[in-house]
Structure 1
Amino acid sequence: MNTEWRTYLVTQESRSAGRETAAIAEAALAGGVDAVQLREKGRPARERYELGRRLRDLTADAGVPLIVNDRVDLAAALGADGVHLGQSDLPVGVARERLGDEAIVGVSASTVPEARAAADAGADYLGVGAVYATDTKDVPAETNGVGPERVGAIADAVDLPVVGIGGIDATNAAPVAEAGAAGVAVVSAVTAADDPRAAAAAIREVVDDAR
């Protein structure tokens, strides 16, 4: 499956201005996002599963992959297209054993050595960041704001699609794409927007123009 994604939505209902994640995802899909990641850290597994079933239907109808953050078991239960792993999560090979050879396995990387290790392990794409300083998730100070330059260094070091993440919106997405990222992953820039569909479309347009 293609992983050259331009706009990648990462869900987080706590940053959705009181709106349901499924409604945000539906609007973002209409705005042109080409991948959706179910994150929702902090919610019980049962709630994540029920939400994931709704997102699975929406993404399947849109022809867009559904990726599950961290939880290989949840990805398998949902029949998701893949999983995104952090540096402290299960190894790529274990995730692929559980999900099958066709599964998409992404890995977070903030340094060139991490990126090369993930590529050697068989990752399908990399999430690189935090590109700009962000408080959306717990990020060590030394990697909270690595900048587009780090995105470029990692994109040059590995033969994998790179998605920049962290503090990205329509005003600063262009340098990330220009540095070599295939696209950008966003949370609040879409989930907290007054018009999530328009926000997603604006980011998609910026990335398309910069590529």
Structure 2
Amino acid sequence: MTLPRLLVVTDRTQAAGPLPEVVAAAVDAGARAVWLRDRDLPLAERRAVAADLRAVLDPVGGLLVWGGAAGAPEGTAVHLTAADPFPAARPPLVGRSCHSAAELARAAGEGCDWVTLSPFAPTASKPGYGPALGTGGLAALAPGAPPVLALGGVRPGDVPGCLAAGASGVAVMGPAMRDPAVVAAYCAALAACDTGPTRV
């Protein structure tokens, strides 16, 4: 299976409209992987949102990623927090949020298919995780890690630097939630780097 180099992360508190509509607009702009991150939703409501997002993603061969392992629909890819235990029954694809060399080493040892590494730049959505990594931090931490998606304050103009520093792609939340059309700019930046999809 492949993970597109752009992972759109949901946050309904920042979304320009209902999540299914925002995600549909992001998909129209080129998104092919969406991480349903809104873990505070009641499980039944979250599963209903997941079904709506699948209805948008499935026709384009897209990937839905469930935040956390608890309550994940069978056969769904999951993305774990840094503190989540690895699921006893392995989902088809597993990502993990990382912020340090130790967390990356753990994810590698578990056999995670990808990791997000954050924060790349100062961002209000990633408080408390230390200073921004920048390209220097990515370059220092990415070697030996599972495929890294840079997360946190990544703008389209940052994409070439992230890839040059060893990231396999980028994950984007706020910009894509507030203006899903911006996804096209991220896709164009990735295409210009001609790096292709990450094998996972």
Q: Give the TM-score normalised by structure 2.
A: 0.88
What are structure 2's unaligned runs of at least 5 residues?
196-200
Aligned residue pairs: how many? Answer: 194
Q: Are 2:116 and 1:127 equivalent residues in the alignment?
A: yes
Report what 2:82 is aligned to.
87
Alignment of 1:57-206 (within 5 A): 57-70=55-68, 72-76=69-73, 79-80=75-76, 82-91=77-86, 95=87, 97-100=88-91, 103-137=92-126, 139-142=127-130, 144-158=131-145, 160-193=146-179, 196-197=180-181, 199-206=182-189
Q: Are 2:8 and 1:9 equivalent residues in the alignment?
A: yes
SS in structure 2 opposite 1:156? Answer: coil
Instruction: Quote how far apart the aligned CAs of 1:141 are.
Output: 4.2
CA RMSD of the aligned region, Å?
Answer: 1.8
SS in structure 2 opposite 1:171? Answer: helix
Distance 2:66 2:11 in 1: 12
Native 8 Å contact 1:67 1:75 kept in 2: no
What are structure 1's unaligned runs of at least 5 residues?
none
Q: 1:114 to 1:141 in 2, by over 3 A?
A: closer
Residue identity matched to 2:184:
A
Distance 1:118 1:111 in 2: 11
Native 8 Å contact 1:6 1:208 kept in 2: no
SS in structure 2 opposite 1:15? Answer: coil
Native 8 Å contact 2:80 2:94 kept in 1: yes
SS in structure 2 opposite 1:98? Answer: coil
SS in structure 2 opposite 1:9? Answer: strand
Native 8 Å contact 2:32 2:57 kept in 1: no
Identity %: 27
Distance 2:15 2:171 in 1: 16
Instruction: Quote how far apart the aligned CAs of 1:207 are.
Output: 2.3
Report what 1:44 is aligned to.
42
Distance 2:164 2:191 in 1: 10
Give the structure with the higher percent helix.
Answer: 1
Distance 1:118 1:141 in 2: 17
Instruction: Quote how far apart the aligned CAs of 1:135 are.
Output: 1.6
- Structure 1, residues 5-54: CA drift from partner, whole Å, max 9, x if none? 2211001111013x011111111112112211001133222221110111
Instruction: Quote how far apart the aligned CAs of 1:157 are.
Output: 2.5
Native 8 Å contact 1:12 1:187 kept in 2: yes
